[in-house]
Amino acid sequence: MAYGRLGRRTWMAAAGVLAAGLWGCSRPVPPAPVTEVRAVQVAALPSTPEDAQWGSGEAFRAPLILQDMVEPRKMVAGATEVTVRALTDGKSIAFRLEWADATEDSVRDAARFTDACAVQLPSNSGPDTPAPQMGEPGRPVEIAFWTATAQAFIDGRPDDLKSLHPNANIDHYPFEAPGLEKTPGKAEEMAKQYAPAKSLGNIVSPSPKKSVQDLMADGPGTMRPAPSQSSTGLGRRTGAGWAVVITRPLPSGLAPGGTSLVAFAVWNGSDGDVGGRKMRTVWIPLTLTGAKKP
């Protein structure tokens, strides 16, 4: 693929040519196309996608392409673009992603997948850019991953079988046997034995408090939880799809006035999108407004 470390330089060059061409024009010209994600500095970051502050930033319409590098792949293209806005308060950066998706898929079950989106940044904002497809060995990327399933739990859907299958009839769980409540913690300990992923603290097991997972990767198939789970998010259905805010701390080395790269991905659950079956962008230049610290 051509979207390797060269991608960034190509983007910068394109932006330069455009700027030169417009210099010195006296008549009013149409606004220059937006070629980067500009994170505008604000005093306090909004937490909802409806917040009026989002109007202060320019929208970047990022074309989406199929993940086409590793099997299993998505073969038929889904959403064609994601509209991105960004704001920063100097410590964190918030992205607002909006894309078209006719169906709300927030249930995960056998053969049912969740809608989702993700923001990817290089761990190191320096010139040594990792490959945009999940980074590469020695050049890791950081990913903040929002899912509609986690959002649904936060919005109040109970985390039980009845919420998936209202008519399901469950006779008995051994950890709900009468009498267990007499020993504090006994029932929970027993329930854990039948839920190994939860016992191991796997972050895909529902956590009702957070809709965003912090992940890192250094190549396809290497994604793992990041040491700190500090990103937050909120997603809402729009008329035509989703609008999602993902807020994460600025990666190390990135500050107001600085630049880096950013990439996005979206998943449509009812299309069977999951893991590498997704629509993604190439690296996009990211600029933080504001004065550089001396």
Partner 1 sequence: MPRVYNWQLGREMSYWYPEVRAKKQFGAIFDVNKCIACQTCTLACKTTWTSGKGQESMLWNNVESKPYGFYPLGWDVKLLDMLGAQDWKGKTYQGKTIFESAPAGERVLGWRPDSRDYAYPNVGEDDCAGDITKGAHMTLPHMNWFFYLARICNHCTYPGCLAACPRGSIYKRPEDGIVLVDQGKCRGYQECVKACPYKKVFFNPMTGTSEKCIGCYPKQEQGLAPQCFSNCIGKIRMAGSISKPDQMREDNPIDYLIHVKKIALPLFPQFGLEPNVYYVPPLHAPAAFLTQIFGPGVEEATKAYLNAPNDPDLMGLLALFGSTEQIIPRFRRVGGEMLGLDEDGTELIRVPIQEPKYIRMAVDAARGVLLTNVP
Binder of partner 1 out of 70, 188, 209, 253 (CB under 8 A): 70
Q: Which among 48-56, 95-103, 221-229, 232-240 is the span making contact with partner 1, rule CB under 8 A?
A: 221-229
Of the ranges 26-34, 54-62, 119-127, 268-276, which one interacts with partner 1 (CB under 8 A)? 268-276
Binding of residue 159 to partner 1 (CB under 8 A):
yes
Which residues neighbour 290 within 8 Å (Cβ) at sequence distance 6 or greater? 41, 88, 90, 256, 257
- Choice between 159 and 181, CB closer to partner 1: 159
* Footprint on residues 30-69 left by partner 1 (CB under 8 A): none
We find the least distance from the C-beta atom of residue 71 to partner 1, in angstroms, to be 5
Alpha-carbon distance values, 270 to 67, 76, 109, 221, 267 (Å): 17, 13, 12, 23, 9
* Rounded least distance, CB 195 to partner 1, Å: 5
Contacts to partner 1 from residues 175-194, by CB under 8 A: 191, 193-194
Confirm or reject binding of residue 74 to partner 1 (CB under 8 A). yes
Does 200 participate in binding partner 1 (rule CB under 8 A)?
Answer: yes
Write out the two tokens for 273: 């999108």
Judged by CB under 8 A, which stretch of 38-46, 97-105, 237-245, 273-281 contacts partner 1?
A: 273-281
The closest of 284, 280, 262 to 7, measured between CA atoms, is: 284
**Residue appearing with tokens 């999108």:** 273
Query: Letter for the amino acid at 223?
Result: M
The Cα 209–Cα 196 span in angstroms is 20
- Which one of 14-22, 30-38, 109-117, 282-290 is the stretch in contact with partner 1 (CB under 8 A)? 109-117
The verdict on 168 binding partner 1 (CB under 8 A) reads: yes
Among candidate residues 162, 164, 184, the one with its CA nearest the CA of residue 173 = 162
Residue closer to partner 1, measured from CB, 85 or 278: 278
Q: Contact residues for partner 1 (CB under 8 A)?
A: 70-75, 107-113, 149, 159-161, 164-165, 168, 170, 173-174, 191, 193-202, 204-206, 220-221, 223-224, 274-276
